[in-house]
Amino acid sequence: MKFDTPAGTNPIDQLTHIGRATDRIDGRHKVTGTATYAYEWHDSMRHPAYGFIVGAAIAKGRIASLDLRAVKSSSGVLAVVTAENAGPLDKGDFNTVKLLAGPDVDHYHQAVAVVVAETFEQARDAAQKIEVRYVISDDGDFDLAVAKDSAPIAGSGYWGEPATSIGDFDGALAAAPVRLDATYTTPDQGHAMMEPHASIAAWNGDRLTLWTSNQMVAWGAGDVAKTLKMPREKVRLISPFIGGGFGGKLFVRSDAILAALGARAAGRPVKVALTRPLMFNNTTHRPATIQRIRIGATKDGKITAIGHESWSGDQPHGNPETAVGQTRLLYAGPNRMTAMRLATLHLPEGNAMRAPGEAPGLMALEVAVDEIAEELNMDPIRFRSINDTQVDPEDPSRPFSQRQLVECFRVGAERFGWSQRNPVPGKTRDGRWLIGVGTAAAFRNNIAMKSGARVHLDRRGKVTVETDMTDIGTGSYTIIAQTAAEMMGVPLERVVVRLGDSTFPVSSGSGGQWGANSSTAGVYAACAMLREAVAKRLNMSGTDAVFADGYVRANGRRVAIADAAASGDLVAEDTMEYGDLSKRYQQSTFGAHFVEVGVDAATLEIRVRRMLAVCAAGRILNPKSARSQVIGAMTMGVGAALMEDLVVDKRYGFFVNHDLAGYEVPVHADIPYQEVVFLDETDPTSSPMKAKGVGELGLCGVGAAIANAIYNATGARIRDYPITLDKLLSQMT
């Protein structure tokens, strides 16, 4: 099915199932332990062996020699795989560097070997006996601040041009009566999801089955095949349940490839899970940024010039953190510039993590907006409203398909009690606590991805949906079931959803806030084809048929939908593809975050006391699961603002705090009551579902709202995240 004109009225608009706060249909499996995660396929193979990965002890250099004699004589060892005996390997399309080092080492904890043994303990013990002699390169670069000045403009990124210029930015900034020029930094951050990167590999002749924790099954199967230099049709990936991905499992990592190599060498199925330190240094992370923002405005608050430059680092041939993207679209202003510069750093790969681009970009931009509003002595919400735009600021011929940013702020201000806020910093107290209130805009682009599904109808009237879409904890099973039930007019309990298998039709996968809207649109397309087949089998007019309550009605007839499959199951498969609507309309999601903090006047301890997110993100398919995504994202925002910081050892090029003892993330005691409001909105230019995405929108802007609240509480303007006690002390003593 091709979606190339805005959606009109369609079966989804019945809202019998769609739009309802429906419980997770996979919830029982989760709480009873019957949801099978990647490391837990105990019934699918007999007597698996265990692999343990050895990570490189240097950041840049080469392996001079490997002594495996003690390993091979260790109890229970079945095989040891290194680059020397792995056979010819390629690099996957979605990997920046190879996943198995040798002889060159590209980053610390890059996999050097996998030891396969009868038990996990034997594999781990033997792995410690590998003797590796390295030659360390003396030209490793690990410090973004040092590499910044020589960093070139990045290559064309996956979200637009690396540098843009509209009008005369320099001239307009120089002429502006009110100006801001400030620099902000965000640190390297790690994923730290609960489920580690884990895989089980089993060979049947020259065919590989890989049970793995992966967000994008089709991408993963393709990269496994390319890396192992084998035909794509001989690789099967299975990933029905994922214990958190957040971008860190978009791409195949070393656990999958080394499980496959280990299984081939041992002649047995092999299980591999990365240890927590390897998750931080071996897999991808969010790279640090240095961001310079310059804004010029008239005395009545109109932006005349806005510029945003960002520096980040990655391995050679990597991509930048696209932190300037939202600045190209969020506020009006005739003179504009953005630039992304990419330094070569020999740290572990930087890549997508929790709303890449907008999340760190808004941590800077939305603080800068508050700062210039203060220079103008203007309420920051009023300043944002004055500079709202209903068209793409870089191309006024492209209107936003929907844009309710001002309404998000209006609703949020009323619900949060913004009018009670004292705009003078440090003037509101609650006993020993200095109280501050802050806000920030939320913004995330909408992306519609091609997505397919297959739908079966059997003689019992049961509808089964198959698609390689994944559920990373976001509720894919439920919204896909709701979509099929809505389209086919059957109760939800008569829908079965099967996900995460590369033998199923290729879906959008989970990532970039595109999963819900895109995957359900693919199910919509397949169900539309199945409706035609049902009507034809029942000798009804497909265009007039109404599917509801388990029946099909048309031309005065009412027939049970199960009757259509009485003579044999009906199967339909289709893919939703997209035309140029996203080029004709700027499709984005918007929101407003409000935060109240308390800062202890004696200790400067920071406590988040209240949080509110108001979101405008198209049709909300399931308010219950959508709220869960948003409050989870808000929690991540607290971590980014106050705690998360992968500390780089700039001598040896590794992340020091590579476990959950040293890498701090929020716990229950850190998070207050969180309120989420969804504005009533549909976007017919996005898909037949008229939805968009909301999971990453819930994170974008939270960090800035917290920073602005801390300033309102204390008068200390911290531009370097995370905002910690030492940084507050330096400004308040």
Active site residues: 696
CA distance to 405, 644, 710, per residue, from 311 (Å): 28, 19, 26
Question: 535 has which bridge partners?
Answer: none
Helix, strand or coil, per DSSP, at residue 225: helix
Give the integer Cα–Cα distance in Å for 125 and 123.
Answer: 6
Here the tokens at position 454 are 């297959």
Task: Report whether 249 contacts 197 (CB < 8 A).
Answer: yes
Give the integer Cα–Cα distance in Å for 227 and 252.
Answer: 10
Question: 236 has which bridge partners?
Answer: 209
Give the integer Cα–Cα distance in Å for 617 and 356.
Answer: 18
Give the integer Cα–Cα distance in Å for 429 and 368.
Answer: 25
DSSP 388: -
Here the tokens at position 166 are 């509209």
Give the integer Cα–Cα distance in Å for 180 and 516.
Answer: 39
The three state secondary structure string of 239-279 is CCCCCCCCCCCCCCCHHHHHHHHHHHHHCCCEEEECCHHHH
Question: 597 has which bridge partners?
Answer: 436, 608
Task: Report whether 356 contacts 513 (CB < 8 A).
Answer: no
Give the integer Cα–Cα distance in Å for 346 and 107.
Answer: 6
CA-based R_g, the chain, Å? 27
Task: Report whether 259 contacts 210 (CB < 8 A).
Answer: yes
Task: Report whether 345 contacts 144 (CB < 8 A).
Answer: yes
By DSSP bridging, strand 546-548 and strand 551-554 are antiparallel
Return the C-alpha torsion angle 215, 217, 219, 224, nearest 10. 110
Taking Cα atoms as reference points, which of 362, 185, 183, 189 lies closest to residue 289? 185
DSSP 155: P
